Structure 1
């Protein structure tokens, strides 16, 4: 009896266990569905695309040069009778710089003039005496012509004894003094420094910053607060393959002669306003090989967007293409996202 009762108890327990398993099986899909429904969207932090200063204006080193330079050339040799200018003086085109002593040449001129008058008188007298033989007077005519040529050459030599400035500017490398003897050749230079030229070699990257610009600012390194303006007169279209730069030349007024040839200046390739650019936090950037992306937050979804970036300034980087002012980008949690995935933006403080 006891064994029979024990068997009945075991069968009842087994039936109860099977019933419990069946009920659990019926409830499982509902519980799983509830869990799926309770899965939260990825929580991300977002930041707005804003205009910020990307840093100080872009600059490069340039050099001040004379806008024109000419040699002071002496075409005659002789003693300096009078020097009117000295090194460093400002001169005007055509202004007398110094004069050579013309005494010896004037004597030659007097001699040639006497010979000319004598030949002219002899020709006049001979014309009366030899009316039937005019060919005999030809030597006198030749003598007159030679005397006239000599006088013309002497006059030109005398003109060369007065040395004038070929252009207006600053007299440099000039050491002519009264009483010294000089020979034909170059005795000095004149540099035209109003206006002046500003010359620079621009890298390929910086050349993009000058597109469409006709005027740039610059300053001397010892006076950073005093800005000068220069107009672009030449910007090379072809790169110098030796140093991989483009030649740039500006022209600037220099009425007060503050800018000296040979001086180094800082040339501003951009101004303050150009430094205000669209930026995003560097934490938003995703790099895949040579491309850069961000996730754009819009309509509750994260859209993967390729962007072109520019200058970097600590925590922010310039956006050249791909985003607009006011766009919102994901700055945290984006590395686990998929394109157009639903996300939830974290509340900002």
Structure 2
């Protein structure tokens, strides 16, 4: 019984000692800290004094009313182009693969690979000895029939023969004429003419070859103008019109841009891709383009000279509508008041969006910090973002390892004359295109 009482007494004394130590630790607080707490918690006019407490109370009050900071931009007016991007392929304005209608042996090839040919020029001649003989035979039969018919006409005028004999001779004359026309047409099919002006490709036959009807001989391409065929989504079918222009870039010709004129729009919308076919024409009198090349097309639907644009990050979508936070005068130079405005957007460009309704030129809108604005009329501070200083231009040939006037910094002469390739063309220099003269073939109405 005695040990239990001793243990209980020791426990009570330990708890009392711990409690006293805790009370003593908490009571040991600096005077300045107590004053600060009193100032922060006391209302104005209480007995809290001291320069440190007053300063901290003022800082706390300023922090509580400091307006949020935002970034802004003004509505700008610039020229915008309403366009869209597409890909397509080039095609000859006129192109055909020459094939014979009848079988025969080739006796003449009147062209060379890559030659420019004219419409009606004889390209291929087949063996036509038999057909020429048939033409001569038909001509002889026609002469006989013509003589008989003339003699019968004289005889019937003298009542020596009946009218029936004259009619029979007239029919024989028509048959002879038909035979001659047939033999001439058969002989003409052994001569293959150029159907239009163009450039021949690489032939696949030689003189002496026996070619069956329908066999390939050579292709002819009219590339004075080339077509670029591409497809646009169906939503653009009301925008694209004949006569509009399109800018075309070629991966095979980097850095060069070509202007195409839209000539035709397919009335049928592809049910698989929901797209409409478009054909545009490019003036190719300089022969820089070839059929089959890959093309990147920018179809231009129109241009707006005084379009109002703002940064794209200023748009705040909400409930299917587009809003911006407009800044109005807040009574101070750096302080502005917010106003939410619904806008109607138009053309979008990387980092920019056109505003059709809701804003005017010079209006200022918030571009960053919209999440800090809870309601209209909030006072905000506009941050002035400084621009990086422009880098000074690098002087060429002034000092160091630069080169000026063809002389290196060390005094060694440098040869700046352009090099020539084996055929005499300067390496690294882009040939200057000659100015075009005459009528643009895309405007001649040919198809």
Q: Which residue number in structure 2 is paired with residue 48 of structure 1? A: 73
Q: Which residue number in structure 1 is paired with residue 116 of structure 2? A: 90
In 2, the alpha carbon distance for the partners of 1:147 and 1:211 equals 56
Q: 2:256 aligns with which of 208, 214, 226?
A: 226
The reply to whether residue 345 of structure 1 matches residue 381 of structure 2 is yes
Note closer, same or farther for the CA distance 1:82–1:347 as it changes in structure 2 (3 Å cut).
Answer: closer
Task: Identify which range, 99-108 or 286-295, moves more after superposition.
Answer: 286-295
Q: Residues 61 and 267 of structure 1 are in contact (CA less than 8 Å); yes or no, is this contact kept in structure 2? A: yes
In 2, the alpha carbon distance for the partners of 1:78 and 1:200 equals 41
In 1, the alpha carbon distance for the partners of 2:224 and 2:258 equals 13
Q: Which residue number in structure 2 is paired with residue 156 of structure 1? A: 185
Q: Which residue number in structure 2 is paired with residue 32 of structure 1? A: none
- C-alpha displacement of 1:295: 1.3
Q: Residues 242 and 263 of structure 2 are in contact (CA less than 8 Å); yes or no, is this contact kept in structure 1? A: no
- C-alpha displacement of 1:64: 0.5
After superposition, the CA RMSD in angstroms is 4.3
In 2, the alpha carbon distance for the partners of 1:189 and 1:340 equals 72
Q: Residues 61 and 265 of structure 1 are in contact (CA less than 8 Å); yes or no, is this contact kept in structure 2? A: yes
Question: Number of residue pairs matched?
Answer: 312
Q: Residues 248 and 259 of structure 2 are in contact (CA less than 8 Å); yes or no, is this contact kept in structure 1? A: yes
Note closer, same or farther for the CA distance 1:290–1:139 as it changes in structure 2 (3 Å cut).
Answer: closer
Q: 1:242 aligns with which of 246, 260, 272?
A: 272
In 1, the alpha carbon distance for the partners of 2:319 and 2:381 equals 28
Q: After superposition, where does 1:101-180 map in structure 2 within 5 Å?
A: 101-118=127-144, 132-134=160-162, 135=164, 142-172=171-201, 174-180=203-209
Q: Residues 218 and 265 of structure 1 are in contact (CA less than 8 Å); yes or no, is this contact kept in structure 2? A: yes
Structure-1-length-normalised TM-score: 0.70
Q: Residues 83 and 176 of structure 1 are in contact (CA less than 8 Å); yes or no, is this contact kept in structure 2? A: no
Note closer, same or farther for the CA distance 1:302–1:251 as it changes in structure 2 (3 Å cut).
Answer: same
Note closer, same or farther for the CA distance 1:295–1:102 as it changes in structure 2 (3 Å cut).
Answer: same
The reply to whether residue 257 of structure 1 matches residue 274 of structure 2 is no
The reply to whether residue 329 of structure 1 matches residue 354 of structure 2 is no
Q: After superposition, where does 1:44-83 map in structure 2 within 5 Å?
A: 44-49=69-74, 51=76, 59-70=85-96, 72-83=98-109
Structure-2-length-normalised TM-score: 0.57
- C-alpha displacement of 1:63: 0.9
Q: Which residue number in structure 1 is paired with residue 310 of structure 2? A: 279
Note closer, same or farther for the CA distance 1:209–1:91 as it changes in structure 2 (3 Å cut).
Answer: same
In 1, the alpha carbon distance for the partners of 2:161 and 2:265 equals 75
In 1, the alpha carbon distance for the partners of 2:329 and 2:289 equals 59
Cα displacement string for residues 16-59 of structure 1 (whole angstroms, at most 9, x for unaligned residues): xxxxxxxxxxx99xxxxxxx9x98474342412355999xx964
Question: What runs of 5+ residues in structure 1 fail to find an aligned partner?
Answer: 1-26, 29-35
Note closer, same or farther for the CA distance 1:206–1:75 as it changes in structure 2 (3 Å cut).
Answer: closer
In 2, the alpha carbon distance for the partners of 1:266 and 1:332 equals 35
Q: Which has the higher contact order (CA 8 A, sep 6+)?
A: 1
SS in 2 for 1:105: helix
In 1, the alpha carbon distance for the partners of 2:327 and 2:353 equals 19
Q: Residues 294 and 307 of structure 1 are in contact (CA less than 8 Å); yes or no, is this contact kept in structure 2? A: yes
In 2, the alpha carbon distance for the partners of 1:108 and 1:82 equals 21
In 1, the alpha carbon distance for the partners of 2:103 and 2:204 equals 16
